[in-house]
Copies of this chain bind each other. A is one copy, B any other.
């Protein structure tokens, strides 16, 4: 089967959250609050066509697994690095949503004095949570050591900061950064 993509149908999962974060980042950029961008999706290009007098057309390429996270940038001189994740499950957040190299990337970031976190969206009730990497890593280690493979909703409520959808910014995640790290 073949599919023609527009910007809004590019991904089935997570598009709404990503859109909201991109809008938020534009707000932060335009107001001079922070410089935070989404990293491009890594794509392995295999075959390119160079038509005379027009732009190169990629004819064969593959999506690659990202080795880091979705977003990074700078806020008040500090390095900011985060991942956005959505789940349709109502009662817990499955840790299989993370790849091991994303966890180790965020761990490295924190060990170098950067700020790493996750924005989690429960799409069912459109609830958003700001989870600092340190809390995520506790749950991750519990899984590695044979414990449960998800974060229970009550655990998330205890360890994260709820984010309320607004108009501008759409997802005021830097308020959470400010309250935890500054």
Q: With A60-B58, A79-B78 known to touch, is A50 a contact of B1 (CB < 8 Å)?
A: yes
Q: With A48-B5, A61-B61 known to touch, is A113 a contact of B76 (CB < 8 Å)?
A: yes
For A81, the chain B residues whose CB sits under 8 A away are 74
Which residue from chain B places its CB closest to the CB of A114 in the assembled complex?
Answer: B74
What's the least CB distance linking A67 to chain B, in Å?
A: 7
For A4, the chain B residues whose CB sits under 8 A away are 46-47
- Residues of A within 8 Å of B, CB-based: how many? 50
Q: Which residues of A contact B (CB under 8 A)?
A: 1-5, 10, 29, 32, 34-35, 37, 39-43, 45-50, 55-63, 67-68, 72-81, 105, 108-109, 111-114
Lowest 8 A-B CB distances belong to which pairs? A77-B113, A74-B79, A58-B61, A40-B42, A74-B114, A79-B79, A40-B40, A74-B112
